[in-house]
Amino acid sequence: MEYRVMGRCGHSVSVFGIGTMRLPLRIQKDGSTNYGSIDEQKAIDMIRQGIDQGVNYIDTAYTYHQGNSERVLGKALKRGYRERVNIATKLPVWKVKSADDFDRILNEQLEKLQVSSIDFYLLHALSKKPWQRLKEMGVLDFLNRARQDGRVKHVGFSFHDQLPVFKEIVDSYDWDMCQIQLNLLDEEFQAGVAGMRYAADKGLGVVVMEPLRGGALAQKVPADIQAHWSQYRVNRSPAEWAFRWLANFPEVSVILSGINNLEQLNENVSIFSKTSPHMLTTEESDLINQVQMLYREKIKVGCTGCQYCMPCPSHVDIPEIFRLYNQVFLYDDLASSQTAYQELIKQKSDASQCVACGQCESLCPQNLSIIEKLAEADDVLRT
Ligand SMILES: NC(=O)c1ccc[n+]([C@@H]2O[C@H](COP(=O)([O-])OP(=O)(O)OC[C@H]3O[C@@H](n4cnc5c(N)ncnc54)[C@H](OP(=O)(O)O)[C@@H]3O)[C@@H](O)[C@H]2O)c1
């Protein structure tokens, strides 16, 4: 495992961090799964095996798996595992209605995680408006207090907005770290590579989320893109290429991967035992550039399937609709997506159920025009 320094706080962190937003789910009797129902034994085994193989940074949040991710992580870190890792969790800023909520939520998180202290405490998914609102409510005083009384060791924020807002937040407080979305398709999206460099320059550790764009860069890779990867003389999975592109940046401290099984864990441990900053050759960088161009031509909606928009009050399955819509163009296969869409129509979770309330748009970290894109998807997917 490669280890890097987490910005000015100087901690040595594994470049591969486990993200616990996509833990394995329990399969119900009817074969379905429910995002809130984690397969605890599988998740605990996976997390412990990750730590045994050198992972020492684990990311969770109050809202992941409908509140159960922190609870399961707390169980996984029993039997001496807690002492071997850095725990990062986040304050769900959209759930803070008054200043009293700061302490109430943090104390609840400590209890769920069964720990007395959190190593990295982040303000979750900051963007311009919540940041202003939180500052006015005294969030920075709260963070100072939580640091002083030891409930929190280091503080940071995760981010989903434009670069100028990112810079403003970086410059507003003595942060230890930040967490940004970065992958080979999002080089200039939100904070992007420019934000990564800005933050690192100011001494912040940079943690990357969605490195495989929620898995899309690793799975069901379009044939022409796979052909590009395959032309290289060393055989590497698309996941390895995407991780190497990120690990090449010396500014990156941790790359979070939302693994959900042991195969992914083992593959990623192996990939991150061979990484180092500035590792890519010119030939490798050129190949990645070609793949980036091919992808940009194909993707219609930049949905990463993070589920922040869910549940929709009108039961529209927003991430699934966008996945089906993108697949039409990625794989040049309209028929399969239309067939799958018929199921959503039967379940009344298709795009026509949307009443344009806009709740999803205010929650989407990608700032997607969801209402407009749903209508566009419906036009294509409805037979
Ligand atoms: N703060 C925020 O606003 C925020 C937002 C998003 C994420 N996060 C954090 O960042 C973490 C990472 O983001 P992410 O989960 O979106 O990461 P990601 O790496 O982009 O996507 C994770 C998915 O990639 C697939 N995968 C992982 N390793 C693979 C491998 N070796 N080969 C093939 N597929 C592989 C799996 O897909 P399948 O499930 O399809 O198998 C997995 O669920 C999250 O878990 C969460 O902790 C934070």
CATH number of 77's domain: 3.20.20.100
Residue nearest to atom 24 of ligand 1 (CA): 215
Helices (H), the chain: 40-52, 68-76, 100-113, 128-137, 139-148, 163-170, 192-201, 223-230, 238-247, 262-271, 282-298, 318-330, 334-346, 359-363, 370-381
Give the residue, by CA position, lying nearest to ligand 1 atom 15.
258
**How many folded domains does the chain comprise?**
2
Ligand 1 pocket, residue 268 CB under 6 Å: yes
Asked whether 19 lines ligand 1 (CB < 6 A), one says: yes
**Residue 306 falls within a domain, yes or no?**
no
Which one-letter DSSP state was computed for residue 107?
H
Residue 190 has what pLDDT?
A: 86
CB 355 within 8 A of CB 331: no
Paired with 5 in beta bridges are: 12
Distances (CA, A) of 168 to 122, 136, 252: 16, 15, 20
Question: Hey, what amino acid is at 132?
Answer: Q
Place of tokens 């690793």: 218
Atom of ligand 1 nearest to the CA of 212: 20
Q: Is residue 202 part of a domain?
A: yes
Ligand 1 atom nearest to 271, measured from its CA? 31
Q: Establish if 307 belongs to a structural domain.
A: no
- Please tell me the distance from the alpha carbon of residue 358 to that of residue 190, in angstroms, as a whole number: 21
Q: Tell me what pLDDT residue 298 has.
A: 86
Say whether both 279 and 327 belong to one domain: no
Å from CA of 21 to ligand 1 middle? 7
Q: What is the DSSP string of 120-132?
A: EEEEEEE-HHHHH
Cβ of 21 below 6 Å from ligand 1:
yes
| 221 and 358 both lie in a single domain | no
* End-of-domain residue from the set 296, 326, 351: 296
- Residues 260 and 357 both lie in one domain: no
CA neighbor of 240 nearest in space, from 253, 224, 221, 262: 221
Q: How far apart are CA 355 and CA 217, in angstroms?
A: 32
76 in any annotated domain? yes
Compute the distance from residue 20 Cα to the ligand 1 centre, in Å. 8
Same domain for 364 and 238: no
If asked whether residues 273 and 352 sit together in one domain, one would say: no
Same domain for 236 and 186:
yes
Distance CA 159, CA 177 (A): 11
What's the gap in Å between 29 CA and the centre of ligand 1?
26
13 within a domain of the structure (yes/no): yes
Q: How far is the CA of 50 from the centre of ligand 1 (A)?
A: 15
Q: Would you say residue 302 lies in a domain?
A: no
Domain hosting 373: range is 318-381
* Atom of ligand 1 lying closest to residue 306 CA: 6
Q: Could you state, in chain order, the average pLDDT of each consecutive group of 10 residues for the chain (383 residues)?
A: 96 97 92 90 98 98 96 97 98 96 98 98 95 96 97 97 93 97 88 96 97 88 92 95 98 96 97 97 96 88 85 94 88 87 94 96 91 96 92
Is the CB of 240 inside a 6 Å radius of any atom of ligand 1?
no
Residue 207 has a pLDDT of 98
Does residue 304 fall inside a structural domain? no
Query: Ligand 1: distance of its center to the CA of 58 in Å?
Result: 13
Q: Do 291 and 322 reside in the same domain of the chain?
A: no
Same domain, 325 and 288: no
Q: Pick the atom of ligand 1 nearest to 124's CA.
A: 1
Report the C-alpha dihedral over residues 158, 67, 97, 90, rounded to 10 degrees.
Answer: -20
Q: Do 258 and 347 fall into the same domain?
A: no
Distance CA 197, CA 206 (A): 9
State residue 38 phi and psi, 5-degree precision.
-80, 140
Q: Is 245 exposed, middle or buried (0-12, 13-18, 19+ CB in 10 A)?
A: buried
DSSP assignment of 222-267, as one string?
Answer: -HHHHHHHHTSSS---HHHHHHHHHHT-TTEEEEEE---SHHHHHH
Residue whose entry in the numeric block shows the structure tokens 């990625």? 330
Pair 266, 157 in one domain: yes
Q: Please indicate, yes or no, whether the overall pTM of this predicted structure exceeds 0.85.
A: yes
| Boundary (domain end) residue, out of 234, 266, 296 | 296
Distance 260 CA to ligand 1 centre (A): 8
Give the bridge partners for 158, in sequence order: 179
Residue 265 Cα, ligand 1 centroid: separation in angstroms? 11
Query: Is the same domain home to 123 and 246?
Result: yes
> In a mutational test of the pocket of ligand 1, which residue from 124, 161, 241, 259 has the highest number of ligand atoms less than 8 Å from its CB?
259
310 inside domain:
no
With a 6 A CB cut-off, is 323 part of the ligand 1 pocket? no
The whole-number pLDDT of residue 307 equals 81
DSSP 221: -
Q: Does residue 124's CB lie within 6 angstroms of at least one atom of ligand 1?
A: yes
Q: Ligand 1 within 6 A of 306 CB?
A: yes
Are both 276 and 332 inside the same structural domain? no
